[in-house]
Amino acid sequence: MSYRFFQNRSCEYFPCHAISENERAEFNCLFCYCPLYPFPDCGGRFEILSNGIKDCSACTLPHYNYDSVNRKLKEKYTNLLLSGEWLSDS
């Protein structure tokens, strides 16, 4: 389905991760910026740098796992809504 996959080969950053030629055909740019970035337990491969920045340069989770990313987002935001944290000012 077209809404599940997008690839921008003309992007100056494509591919934004070191991948093989074979992997390029399935490399999905739909989540160019990972929607799971704010979550410490995102399920991806990342490291926290000495300056506190989350470095996801070794992670390709959002580029190959559309359904998994959507499930995780639904879980995270459902939990936030049920906990009331979503409505909190702090």
Average pLDDT, the chain: 90
Where do the domains of the chain lie?
2-87
Per-residue model confidence (pLDDT) at position 3: 83
Q: Using 50, 70 and 90 to split pLDDT, how confident is the model at 1?
A: low
| Mean pLDDT computed over 11-34 | 92
DSSP string, 54-79: EE-TT--HHHH-HHHHHHHHHHHHHH
Structure tokens at 46: 């990342």
Report the residue count for the chain. 90
Expressed in angstroms, the distance from the first to the final Cα of the chain is 39
In this structure, how many other beta carbons lie within 10 angstroms of the beta carbon of residue 12?
6
